[in-house]
Structure 1
Amino acid sequence: MKTPFVQFGTSRFLQAHADLFISEALERQEAPGRITVVQTTGSAERSGRLVALTQPDGYPVMIRGLADGKPVDKIERVKSVVRAVSTNDNWDAVCHIVADEAEFLISNTGDTGYDVSGDDLSTYVPLSFPGKLLLLLKARFDAGGKPLTILPCELVSRNGDVLKAIVLELARERLGDPQFVFWLANAIIWANTLVDRIVSEPIEPAGAVAEPYALWAIEKQRGLRAPCAHECVILVDDLTHYEKLKLHILNLGHTVLADIWLRQGRDPDETVRQILADADVARRLEDIYAQEVVPAFAAKGLGRQASAYVATTLDRFRNPFLDHRMGDIANHHTEKIVRRIAELRRWSPEVAMPMLSAICDQ
């Protein structure tokens, strides 16, 4: 069976996000086909996962949390993955699959996934994901160069643009083929995407526990089509608004709570759900959202969207099945204040933000 989707990464996030969406769409015949998963690291602990991902009865994803204030606790079976290979053990096969079968490439390669070393192409299988991607795309070019859509899911702003720039630079420096470089720049669709779902823990050997909320927003461009028809997969004119909502509501809320937690010297093991059980803390966060954050979005014509996202965010924070520790959220607190709060003030300077300013100016 040919697989139109080739996915780089075996993370629990992708198992409960793209793989689940495509599986559900396939049940309605609203996806072009199934997935080949490619393990891009040599991690022995994940080798057993490759076999488990492709079992005929699928693998489990537990959806647990709150939706519209009501508890959700259910299990979905994901059956979209039919092949799983490793770049270390099956490099030639991966080259053939990308060259001959793929219509979409999906990636989720972690925080350092785009890093490239100086000797990256010195080995038969490049060390970095951009290096691997470059040679796989070269194999496709040499096989006739059919168009292709790349859907990166790394948490990098404008991730498609960033990945494209890295691969183009590698191609110019290491391969020196102007026709191939032109094809990379013009025949490949490098999509900018934003993904949003908390996937709290793995299920071994394959599967995950995830919250009900999920989003896969993909910025429109000429020639781009959605990977599948699904309520959580949306094509948008501009990702900026979605990035702002996530950054200045969800992430900002975490940083406000972390600031309270740090200032009050609260329980080291306290979770987001537990700190919001304190009525005074919950009231302060809700006041900040209502009096400063939503007005900032309303000044940009996004008040309705912000209000709805605040309600969803508070449900996510109060997820009874998720133990999200404040100590983890408080890491790199100073840098997060700048990115999540100070940038909101700069983005919407006409709105008074005394409570948020007190956090920035401490």
Structure 2
Amino acid sequence: MTSPILQFGTSRFLQAHADLFLSQAMAQGQDVGPITVVQSSGDATRATRLSGLVGAYPVRVEGVQNGTEIRQTITVTSIARTLSTALNWADVVQTFTNDTKIVLSNTGDSGFTPQPADSADSFDQSMSYPAKLTLLLRARLAAGGAPIQIMPMELIVDNGAVLKRRVLELAQGDAALIRYIEQDVIWVNSLVDRIVSQPLEPAGAVAEPYALWAIEDQPRLTLPCVHPAVQVVKSLAQIEALKLFVLNLGHTYLADNWLAQQGPDSILVRDLMADPDTVAALRTMLQTEVRPAFAAAGLATEFDAYVPTTLDRFANPFLDHRIADIAQNHQQKITRRIAAMCDWAAEQGDTSPKPTLSAIIARNKDLT
């Protein structure tokens, strides 16, 4: 069986997001998938998860949507094969070169971070994801250079453009590869959103009902599937700003307070949202420090509608969303969510003080 979709990343988010959407599309008879999943980290402790993805795994969807309680289990069957870059690099190259039409990735907050091995001419497991992708594109070009679509799902603004720039940096000196990257590789910006609160073993996850995969339109775009959660938009800017600077920033704000107080690992987001003082402080920060930026950008109405939905999602009574999980890669999240919001605010002309957010940036800068 050929696999037209190659996915880098095994996260529970992907299991309850793209993999689930593609599974539902396949069940409806759409000519999409199946997926080959590649573990790019080489983490041997996740071997059980990798093997558990093939065949079928459950996703429990639990929450309240439009006033209706939802609790259902969906069986995901879109993954046909799993590989590891550490163990099966030759198979990854073969699949990428011969079968792949669309590449998905969600390699975590540090997946794009440059590594010392990135400049090597041959594969090294310690390479970053962009460096591994550059090697794969070089192999595909050598095999004939069929067009391919790259769709990163990492939570980075203009993620497709960012990944393309990094791959072009790594391809310097190879004119043919640069031409291929520019002309025959379609780099897609997208934004994903779904709270996936916990893993199931050996594979699967628990997620909220809300889900979004917003894809920025461009010439030659191929949708991975047709699904209610998949939306093609003219520009991601408004959606990105709301997602990054309200929902994700709110999560990181809560995580920073939890870290500062050295709270127990068992604390859940919904536990924090049950505390009136915590909710009041969160609301005040959003209204006095974040809202002025959205008002300056002409998005005050959108902000005012998005905040209540976000707080309801945080308080979902069915999701065991550990604040300790959100606190992982905390430094990168502060840079991409809080510091980036302050920079964005200045770009919109908002010069209002942001004492809480500035204090978080300064405190964590001192810790690095």
Q: TM-score interval w.r.t. the shorter chain?
A: 0.7 to 0.9
Q: Is the 8 A contact 2:158 2:189 kept in 1?
A: yes
Deviation per residue, 1:302-337 (Å, 9 max, x gap):
345334422321221111133445577676698689
Alpha-carbon distance between aligned partners in 1 of 2:336 and 2:114, rounded to the nearest angstrom: 26
TM-score, normalising length: structure 1:
0.84
Q: Is the 8 A contact 2:17 2:211 kept in 1?
A: yes
Deviation per residue, 1:168-194 (Å, 9 max, x gap):
12122xxx4312220112210111121
**How far did residue 131 of structure 1 move?**
2.4
Q: Which residue of 1 aligns with 2:362?
A: none
Deviation per residue, 1:1-38 (Å, 9 max, x gap):
21110111111111111101111111223352311111
Q: Which residue of 1 aligns with 2:194?
A: 197
Alpha-carbon distance between aligned partners in 2 of 1:166 and 1:82, rounded to the nearest angstrom: 30
Q: How does 1:239-318 map to 2 (within 5 A)?
A: 239-254=236-251, 270-279=267-276, 281-282=278-279, 285-286=282-283, 297=294, 300-318=297-315
Bigger mean CA offset, 24-33 vs 228-237: 24-33
Alpha-carbon distance between aligned partners in 2 of 1:103 and 1:186, rounded to the nearest angstrom: 15
Q: Is the 8 A contact 1:131 1:170 kept in 2?
A: yes
Q: Which residue of 1 aligns with 2:154?
A: 154
**What amino acid sits opposite 2:40 in the alignment?**
T
Q: Is the 8 A contact 1:245 1:306 kept in 2?
A: yes
**What amino acid sits opposite 2:220 in the alignment?**
G
Q: How does 1:326-345 map to 2 (within 5 A)?
A: 338-339=338-339, 342-343=342-343, 345=345
**What amino acid sits opposite 1:82 in the alignment?**
A
**Judging changes above 3 Å, is the alpha-carbon distance between structure 1 residues 178 and 288 closer, same or farther for their aligned structure 2 residues?**
closer
Q: Is the 8 A contact 2:138 2:177 kept in 1?
A: yes
Q: Which residue of 2 aligns with 1:182?
A: 179
Alpha-carbon distance between aligned partners in 2 of 1:358 and 1:199, rounded to the nearest angstrom: 31
Q: Which residue of 1 aligns with 2:4?
A: 4
Q: Is the 8 A contact 1:251 1:340 kept in 2?
A: no
**What amino acid sits opposite 2:92 in the alignment?**
V
Q: Which residue of 1 aligns with 2:32?
A: 32
**How far did residue 75 of structure 1 move?**
0.8
Alpha-carbon distance between aligned partners in 2 of 1:266 and 1:43, rounded to the nearest angstrom: 28
Q: Quick check: 1:127 aligned with 2:137?
A: no
**Judging changes above 3 Å, is the alpha-carbon distance between structure 1 residues 294 and 101 closer, same or farther for their aligned structure 2 residues?**
same
Deviation per residue, 1:40-88 (Å, 9 max, x gap):
2322222223322112xx1011112232344322111101111112223
Bigger mean CA offset, 140-149 vs 74-83: 140-149
Please state whether the residue corresponding to 1:275 is helix, strand or coil: helix
Q: Quick check: 1:110 aligned with 2:108?
A: yes
Q: Which residue of 2 aligns with 1:41?
A: 41
**What amino acid sits opposite 1:140 in the alignment?**
R
Please state whether the residue corresponding to 2:86 is helix, strand or coil: coil
Deviation per residue, 1:113-165 (Å, 9 max, x gap):
12343444355455322222122112221222111110111122222112111
Q: Which residue of 2 aligns with 1:167?
A: 167
**Judging changes above 3 Å, is the alpha-carbon distance between structure 1 residues 131 and 286 closer, same or farther for their aligned structure 2 residues?**
closer
How many percent identity over aligned positions? 46
Alpha-carbon distance between aligned partners in 1 of 2:125 and 2:279, rounded to the nearest angstrom: 49
Alpha-carbon distance between aligned partners in 1 of 2:323 and 2:39, rounded to the nearest angstrom: 32
Alpha-carbon distance between aligned partners in 2 of 1:39 and 1:100, rounded to the nearest angstrom: 19
TM-score, normalising length: structure 2:
0.82
**Judging changes above 3 Å, is the alpha-carbon distance between structure 1 residues 179 and 305 closer, same or farther for their aligned structure 2 residues?**
same
**How far did residue 348 of structure 1 move?**
5.1
Aligned length: 353
Bigger mean CA offset, 241-250 vs 61-70: 61-70
Q: Which residue of 1 aligns with 2:366?
A: none
Q: Is the 8 A contact 2:192 2:214 kept in 1?
A: yes
Deviation per residue, 1:260-312 (Å, 9 max, x gap):
8799x797565432333234554565566678756754554434533442232
Deviation per residue, 1:215-271 (Å, 9 max, x gap):
2112122211211111111122211111110123213434665688799x7975654
Q: Is the 8 A contact 1:337 1:360 kept in 2?
A: no
Q: Which residue of 1 aligns with 2:58?
A: 60
Alpha-carbon distance between aligned partners in 1 of 2:74 and 2:61, rounded to the nearest angstrom: 8
Q: Which residue of 2 aligns with 1:346?
A: 346
Alpha-carbon distance between aligned partners in 1 of 2:131 and 2:350, rounded to the nearest angstrom: 45
Alpha-carbon RMSD across the aligned residues, in angstroms, is 3.2
Q: Is the 8 A contact 2:58 2:76 kept in 1?
A: yes
Q: Is the 8 A contact 1:6 1:35 kept in 2?
A: yes
Alpha-carbon distance between aligned partners in 1 of 2:223 and 2:100, rounded to the nearest angstrom: 15
Please state whether the residue corresponding to 2:61 is helix, strand or coil: strand
Unaligned residue ranges in structure 2 (runs of 5+): 360-368
Bigger mean CA offset, 278-287 vs 137-146: 278-287
Q: Is the 8 A contact 1:68 1:315 kept in 2?
A: no
Of 206, 213, 216, which aligns to 1:216? 213
